[in-house]
């Protein structure tokens, strides 16, 4: 089982709709979770982090964390074509070597 798993997509969403990106992780003791956005040919850009169960909102972005289910998600409301990118879920793993572990990313396309 991979430490951090994401559906690689592509996920296609119409403009103005809600895009929902999901991530599961294996380390039950993990406490810190991050979402990065990566445009093609660019480096990852941090857009959200969440440490507590529940929802965290920042503008059009909402991160959701359910530690019991070992599940974290990112919702993008009112999706724009500029949101088209790969979204990387990252989990700070504390079992063994403590480090940030990334999923393979979900490629999101917003269709005008």
Partner 1 sequence: EAGVVQSPRYKIIEKKQPVAFWCNPISGHNTLYWYLQNLGQGPELLIRYENEEAVDDSQLPKDRFSAERLKGVDSTLKIQPAELGDSAVYLCASSLRGGSTYEQYFGPGTRLTVT
CB of 77 to partner 1, least distance (A): 23
**Cβ at position 26, least distance to partner 1 in Å:** 15
Is 74 a binder of partner 1 (CB under 8 A)?
no
DSSP string, 38-71: E-TTS--EEEEEE-SSEEEEETTEEEEEETTTTE
If binding is defined by CB under 8 A, does position 109 make contact with partner 1?
A: no
Distances (CA, A) of 34 to 31, 44, 48, 81: 10, 11, 6, 22
105 binds partner 1 (CB under 8 A): yes
Do the beta carbons of residue 44 and residue 38 sit within 8 Å? Answer: yes
Q: Nearest distance from residue 64's CB to partner 1, in Å? A: 19
From 21, 90, 108, 110, residue interacting with partner 1 (rule: CB under 8 A): 90
């Amino acid at each position: 089982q991979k430490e951090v798993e994401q559906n690689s997509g592509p996920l296609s969403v119409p403009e103005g709709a809600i895009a929902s990106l999901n991530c599961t992780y294996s380390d039950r003791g993990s406490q810190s979770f991050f979402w990065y956005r990566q445009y093609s040919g660019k480096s990852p850009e941090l857009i959200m982090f969440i440490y507590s169960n529940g929802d965290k909102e920042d503008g059009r972005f909402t991160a959701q964390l359910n530690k019991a289910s070992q599940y974290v998600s990112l919702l993008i409301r009112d999706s724009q074509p500029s949101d088209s990118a790969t979204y990387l879920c990252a989990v700070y793993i504390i079992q063994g070597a403590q480090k940030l572990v990334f999923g393979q990313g979900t490629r999101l396309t917003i269709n005008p």
